[in-house]
Amino acid sequence: MESSGYKDMALDFLKLSSKGYSRIAFSKYVAIGFKHHNVFFKADPETLMVAMEENAKKYPLKTLDIKHVLEDGNLVAIHSHVKLKPDHPGVALIHIFRFEVGKIMELWDFGQAVPEDGVNENGMF
């Protein structure tokens, strides 16, 4: 099966956004009519883009460690570990992207804090 390139686009979008280049990420990859489902921000793309930019400024040492990338048709899911600071345990994140006309049309993101003393020996990753 030939790759659609959606995985690469979703990965680049996250990497750019996490480093403070959300304006570039949005201009390159986000479709007109884009909608997101992050309940902490207004539904318009501008608000989410600015929030990503401000987060990168607030946490300049933030790291994004991609663990898994799955593609199914026009959907891409990315499981990652984000640490805001080197000594921070971080957050496990899942981003789900829906592509339409070769661009990101819809985005869902889910996060769970990594516990310092988790009881599961397998951990979150």
Overall average pLDDT of the 29-48 stretch:
95
Can you give the pLDDT at residue 2?
Answer: 53
| Per-residue pLDDT tens digits for 52-62 | 999 999 999 99
* C-alpha to C-alpha distance for 58 and 15, rounded to whole angstroms: 16
- CB-based contact 75:84 (threshold 8 Å): no
Q: What residues does each domain of the chain span?
A: 6-113
Question: pTM of the predicted model, to two decimals?
Answer: 0.93
Give how far the C-alpha of residue 94 lies from the chain's centroid of Cα atoms, to the nearest Å.
Answer: 7
What CATH code would you report for 6-113? 3.10.450.50
> Is the predicted pLDDT of residue 96 greater than 80, yes or no?
yes
> Is the predicted pLDDT of residue 1 greater than 60, yes or no?
no
